[in-house]
Amino acid sequence: MKVAIIGAGATGLAAAWTLAKNGHRVDIYETSKGELGGIAGAMPIGKTRIDKIYHHIFTSDTSILDLIDEVGLSSEMMWIEPKNGMHINGKLYPFTSPMDLILFPAVNLVSRFRMGLAVLRAKTVSDYKSMEDITAKEWLVKKAGQESYDKLWKTLLTSKFDKDADKVSGVWIWNKFKLRGSTRKNINSESLGYLRGGFYELYKKLSELVEEKNGRIVYKKATRISGEGGKIRIDTESGTQSYDKCLFTPSPASLAKLCALPPDYLKKVAKIKHKANVCLTLVAKKKISDYYWVTIAEEDSPFVVFIEHTNLVKDEKYEGKTIIYLSKYLDQSDPFFVATDREIKKAFLEHLPKLFPSFSEADVFETHIYRSLDAQPLVGLRYSEDVLPLETPVKNLYIASMCQIYPEDRGQNYAVDRGIAAAKRLMEE
């Protein structure tokens, strides 16, 4: 079987490897010139690379861990206990363990107790369907109280979903509580995983393995996709190729721009919304905090997450440099998303010393900005009704995109899992 895969991200490469090792001929089309890994791609730093956008994985991420093992990279996995924090009401507090939550001074004692109970209660919910009709906000207010919602959870939801925070389904928050619980060794300690050299190393390895099996990475944008007599035709600026099957991995909205699809399917596509993300990476001379991940719950801050990557990952190839990511999720139509790099850098860097007074712009060697349009699907009420199936209305054209991951939330582990599952279905049908 000859298969076209659109997108050399985690989903596309996992699918391509599954098909290639089973004897199928695969061409992977990728828009970004020479880049692999999609959102989980990398950029060069010192004598190595780091992720363009911060990434870590959890001990419960078994699909990606199995794949890392299969391609011989297990020895490159690092497991580290993070130190996380929250910046709220002008102060930085530790926020790693349930104990930090219980001792968290920004809300009163009764609210803290109710918050702890809410987290525990979420873990006992076994069927996500019971959380589909209630928003995360309603569920949190009911279980943890209005005070803790207003002072804490609202900020956490807003940090991911911006203006749409109130629309997020209870399933999303249930999932977060469950996931964080399953990645703890014991109640107070959690381990996060990072692949030495960035997760790019996995994607590079997969592409090499696909090429060894006569697959190709075609660094060209698919400009049109059409079905013709059961075959799938892929157009690029430099020609056309025909395939038995095609797996599309970017968002359904981008498929709708490339392919003629029936109106009822387009209506479903239009219902699926994503938030965008802007991420600024700083490569600096000195460390500025002891924390890995700090949620910024300050209303005037232009970024909502601060990640000091080098407080999690120690690698001599970074040559002693400090690597920091500042991130903001926002509406795809927000003017800040299309602001110039200079404007974004100015807004973020002017604010950083207000939160971390030891930071000085003079210590920054390099900055990089990465924009991601389809960064986080907006998981609303009864989202199960909106999830598109793998098959599209065009025969032999399939879609496996981030927004189809449900009830889990997006992440490399599920991208790999769904990529492999999609490849298996293509081989079966």
Ligand X SMILES: Cc1cc2nc3c(=O)[nH]c(=O)nc-3n(C[C@H](O)[C@H](O)[C@H](O)COP(=O)(O)OP(=O)(O)OC[C@H]3O[C@@H](n4cnc5c(N)ncnc54)[C@H](O)[C@@H]3O)c2cc1C
269 binds ligand X (CB under 6 A): no
277 binds ligand X (CB under 6 A): yes
Question: How far apart are alpha carbons 139 and 172 in whole angstroms?
Answer: 11
Nearer to ligand X, 206 or 415 (CB): 415
Q: 């795809």: which residue's tokens? A: 332
Nearer to ligand X, 104 or 203 (CB): 203
423 binds ligand X (CB under 6 A): no
Nearer to ligand X, 141 or 415 (CB): 415
Q: 């992440």: which residue's tokens? A: 411
311 binds ligand X (CB under 6 A): no
- Binding residues among 239-258 for ligand X as defined by CB under 6 A: 249-250, 254
Question: How far apart are alpha carbons 140 and 411 in whole angstroms?
Answer: 24
Give how many residues touch ligand X by CB under 6 A: 35
Question: How far apart are alpha carbons 128 and 266 in whole angstroms?
Answer: 27
160 binds ligand X (CB under 6 A): no
Provide the 3-class DSSP secondary structure of residue 191: coil
272 binds ligand X (CB under 6 A): no
Taking CB under 6 A as the criterion, the residue among 326, 412, 422, 426 binding ligand X is: 412
Which of 249, 246, 207 has the alpha carbon at shortest distance from 35? 207
Taking CB under 6 A as the criterion, the residue among 73, 210, 222, 304 binding ligand X is: 222
Nearer to ligand X, 90 or 239 (CB): 239
Question: How far apart are alpha carbons 78 and 55 in whole angstroms?
Answer: 13
Provide the 3-class DSSP secondary structure of residue 39: helix
Question: How far apart are alpha carbons 182 and 61 in whole angstroms?
Answer: 10
Question: How far apart are alpha carbons 210 and 340 in whole angstroms?
Answer: 37
Contact 306, 287 (CB under 8 A): no
Tokens of 73: 């990279």
Nearer to ligand X, 152 or 225 (CB): 225
Question: How far apart are alpha carbons 303 and 89 in whole angstroms?
Answer: 15
In whole angstroms, the minimum distance from the beta carbon of 192 to ligand X comes to 8
Helix, strand and coil percent figures for the chain, each rounded to 5: 40, 25, 30
Mask: binding to ligand X, 20-49, rule CB under 6 A, as x and -?
A: ---------xxxx-----xxx---------
Taking CB under 6 A as the criterion, the residue among 344, 375, 379, 388 binding ligand X is: 375
- Binding residues among 71-100 for ligand X as defined by CB under 6 A: none
Interface residue list for ligand X (CB under 6 A): 6-12, 29-32, 38-40, 53-57, 221-222, 249-250, 254, 277, 279, 327, 372, 375, 402, 410-413, 415
